[in-house]
Amino acid sequence: MKAEIIAVGTELLMGQIVNTNAQYLARGLADIGVGVYFQTVVGDNASRIKEALRLAKSRVDLIICTGGLGPTQDDLTKDVLAEVLGQSLVIHQPSLDKMKTLFEGRGIPMVESNMRQALMLEHSDPLANDTGLAVGNAVTHEGTHYILLPGPPKEMKPMFDRYARPWIESKMDHVQPLYSLMLKFAGIGESSLEHALIDLIEAQSDPTIAPYAKEGEVAIRLTTRAASADEAAGRLKPLEQEIRSRLGEYIYAAEDISLEQHILQTLASQGKKLAVAESCSGGQLSDMLTSVPGSSDAFVGGIISYSNTAKHKLLKIPMEQLEGDGAPGAISEETAAAMAENVAELTGADYGVSITGVAGPGESEGKPIGLVYVGIARRGEKASVVKLQQSGNRETIKLRASKSSLYHLWKLLKS
Amino acid sequence: MKAEIIAVGTELLMGQIVNTNAQYLARGLADIGVGVYFQTVVGDNASRIKEALRLAKSRVDLIICTGGLGPTQDDLTKDVLAEVLGQSLVIHQPSLDKMKTLFEGRGIPMVESNMRQALMLEHSDPLANDTGLAVGNAVTHEGTHYILLPGPPKEMKPMFDRYARPWIESKMDHVQPLYSLMLKFAGIGESSLEHALIDLIEAQSDPTIAPYAKEGEVAIRLTTRAASADEAAGRLKPLEQEIRSRLGEYIYAAEDISLEQHILQTLASQGKKLAVAESCSGGQLSDMLTSVPGSSDAFVGGIISYSNTAKHKLLKIPMEQLEGDGAPGAISEETAAAMAENVAELTGADYGVSITGVAGPGESEGKPIGLVYVGIARRGEKASVVKLQQSGNRETIKLRASKSSLYHLWKLLKS
């Protein structure tokens, strides 16, 4: 089945908001084996919406419209589709009843225009809106499937997942449920990962293999359709084994969790605590860790030693090590080791992780932008230090340094 | 002038990435008075790109394509446009020379396919790529203007702003240059700001008034076209004065800089230093501050006291204050004050800022999610503490707490 997504809304055309709905729908459709061939954005203008619908009808089997289902005179999608298909609009009574109850409950009068949100095409299937007022529509006409969804993502997403997607699947032949397996990687970049799996990716059919990369993490999702979980496992497992035989050392989880979440769970399950000492990453590692709900079970805190003063006063590193002729300096193996060891010692945490380097925009201590040392220490033991040369701008170097430190901590925890 | 934006890329169609380029371009075009009538996304497929170009030609005057300028066989945009316009592709020598120099500098051989990035349409204007390798193109053919930009936002944005936008303006009739004024606000939300200015926003014509909100900051941009800077100022200044008379206490800058950047510049110009003590914000405030290039001139560092252990061992707060019957606890005015005072004392910084509160997902110390105390201290003086009740999820609470602490520091620095 070939699909087109049409987003209706002048606020999208003007750039006031980003069309995140298109991404969400494209992914959801890919999951059920529907390919999206075009995405279009049109304004709240009847003739241009009509043009977009007619064009889409000429080139795809499934047209999904988002937006334009609201109460105002600018919300035209249903009216235009009704005209294009030669149908009337009728009231969807359950939606109207729900709306009346809601307004009564709030004690405010229901403006007449709100009733527009309960309208649906005469010969369509209503799609319930569990998180809003405008009812969705699904209709097949002359072999083309049309779906109308609301624009606000908090209404669009549940309506698509709960009602539109099953409706689409019901129109597809012989559709079995989908089973997926997510493999999460650390310590390997997107291009190296693709390189190692390129034969599998290029030859994929069933299961499908989709690489994902964002914010310093890479993942692979394996997906298949099967009559049962056992049958799915019979196809997913051999492929997973093949990938593990090539890249197993980089796989930290077979579920969709972040590396920081995985590490914090591991630590918490062992009753262990972590502290960090950050220089060039400037708090980003701590911020990542504390973005995980429940992180306080394993994360004690740490020190942002952004200056030599802080490295000396807070982390107790001798000034002679940081400054002066022949000193290793703040950006050195010695200082990374001392930062990791000392932060564990000072806080009593079981593990100390440190990051020191040059995020730019200029060099520091005559050392190049992107040079980063990561230190990992068990409390009371000598730290191991890894020297990295990161590329990219200030933001990228901070992010990669933070993610790298997590990778090296993960390796220690595994060993 | 009517425009269409065509984004080329299967990764967009599949939902692997969001089409943020369309938003950026739509805003940039609106700024120069060009209306975007359609946005389209097509995959890396020659016949569908061709179809999209032909359709766009039939309905707009300006077609901007993003993506498909890279080195691989999937990058087809230039080839397809060349075919549609009946032109050849030729090497843009400066782009090729730059590429050669770059590869030589890195000591790696230049793969032949990279040369594709230096190709341009025979009768077009090249658009320099200051942040990447693929040269852009601008060409007028049979009255339609075509612009080809790279897909990666970090290449697309500077190329559009520096080269494509002026090129488009040069094709417009009687266009006077644009003058804008950005007013940046702190300590006021988007809806309060709009409420205070709603009459001006609704009655706007020239200058235009555009509110912007992102990541806890709000801004207003005033824009006008004029023959000279003086003429522009004659229109912008009275409006700025009107806005200042209503909301002046919240305006921290009349240029597009972040609050953290403004504060760090102010501190650096006074030779003052800042240290922070973060509990519930977990490093986000430090991360924000250190995202500003040159932040080390004023930011010393700080302590992430995510546990009572860290508050006690690193920040020297007595355990009796943090725990036990009748103790104020970690989330209290007393502790916020001690955190700010102590971090300034311990680091020798001139100012200490602290954040302690409940980011969720559960309550803490029996105190509700969203309760946050912010402490601001001059070293050696008593801290002032502000109690806040934030709403939202964990991420939002962390972000708002961090931004609020900056707002209160800014108020102190102003006073």
Q: Give the pLDDT score at B10.
A: 85
CA end-to-end span of chain B: 49
Q: What is the mean pLDDT of chain A?
A: 93
Are A64 and A4 in contact by the 8 Å Cβ rule? The answer is: yes
Structure tokens at B360: 């969720």
CB nearest B361 (choices: A293, A304, A398): A293
Contacts of B305 in chain A (CB under 8 A): 301
Question: What distance in Å separates the CA atoms of residue B17 and residue B11, rounded to the nearest whole number?
Answer: 6
Contacts of A13 in chain B (CB under 8 A): 26, 36-39
Whether the predicted pLDDT of A126 surpasses 90: yes
CB nearest B290 (choices: A48, A289, A306): A306
Cβ neighbours, 10 Å, residue B194: 14
Contacts of B396 in chain A (CB under 8 A): none
**Tens of pLDDT along A243-277?**
999 999 999 999 989 999 999 999 999 999 999 99
Q: How many A×B Cβ pairs under 8 Å?
A: 234
Half-sphere exposure of B205 (CA within 13 A, CB side): 1
Q: What is the helix, strand, coil percentage profile of chain B, to 5?
A: 45, 25, 30
pLDDT band at A33; cut points 50, 70, 90: confident
Q: Give the pLDDT score at B95.
A: 94
CA end-to-end span of chain A: 48
Calculate the alpha carbon distances from B347 to A230, A321, B300, B341 in Å.
60, 18, 7, 10
| The CATH number, out of the four listed (3.40.980.10, 1.10.1370.20, 3.40.50.880, 1.20.120.550), of the domain defined by the range B2-171 | 3.40.980.10
Q: Give the pLDDT score at B176.
A: 76
Calculate the alpha carbon distances from B255 to A303, B182, B213, B224, B297 in Å.
33, 5, 15, 16, 21
Contacts of B289 in chain A (CB under 8 A): 282-283
Question: CATH 3.30.70.141: does it fit domain A178-253?
Answer: no
3-state secondary structure of A306: coil
Phi, psi of B318 (to 5 degrees): -60, 140
Q: Which amino acid is located at B40 in the chain? A: T
The CATH 3.40.980.10 portion of chain A extends over: 2-171
Calculate the alpha carbon distances from A178 to A35, A204, A219, A347, B388 in Å.
15, 16, 18, 47, 46
Q: Which amino acid is located at B399 in the chain? A: L
Residues whose CB is less than 8 angstroms from the CB of residue B15 and which lie 6 or more positions away in sequence, other chains included: A22, A23, A24, A25, A26, A27, A28, A29, A30, A36
Cβ contact, residue pair A347, B23, below 8 Å: no
ipTM over 0.90: no
Question: What distance in Å separates the CA atoms of residue B39 and residue B47, rounded to the nearest whole number?
Answer: 18
pLDDT-flagged residues of chain B (< 70): 174, 215
Whether the predicted pLDDT of A215 surpasses 70: no
3-state secondary structure of A352: strand
Sequence-ordered strand ranges (E) for B186-297: 208-214, 217-225, 251-253, 274-278
Query: Which DSSP category does B162 fall into?
Result: I
Mean pLDDT of A146-164: 95
What residue in B sits closest to A3 (Cα-Cα)?
B13
The CATH 3.30.70.2860 portion of chain B extends over: 178-253
**Which residues is A304 bridged to in the sheet?**
A278, B302
Cβ contact, residue pair A283, B303, below 8 Å: no
**Tens of pLDDT along A330-356?**
999 999 999 999 999 999 999 999 999
Does the CB of B41 have a partner CB in chain A at under 8 Å? yes
Sequence-ordered strand ranges (E) for B75-198: 89-91, 119-121, 125-127, 136-141, 144-149, 178-185
Note the CATH architecture for domain A259-414: Alpha-Beta Complex (3.90)
The CATH 3.90.950.20 portion of chain A extends over: 259-414
Query: What residues of chain B, 381 to 410, have a C-beta less than 8 Å from chain A?
Result: 394-395, 398
Structure tokens at B15: 């939902």
Q: Which of B211, B214, B212, B237 is nearest to B226 (CA)?
A: B237
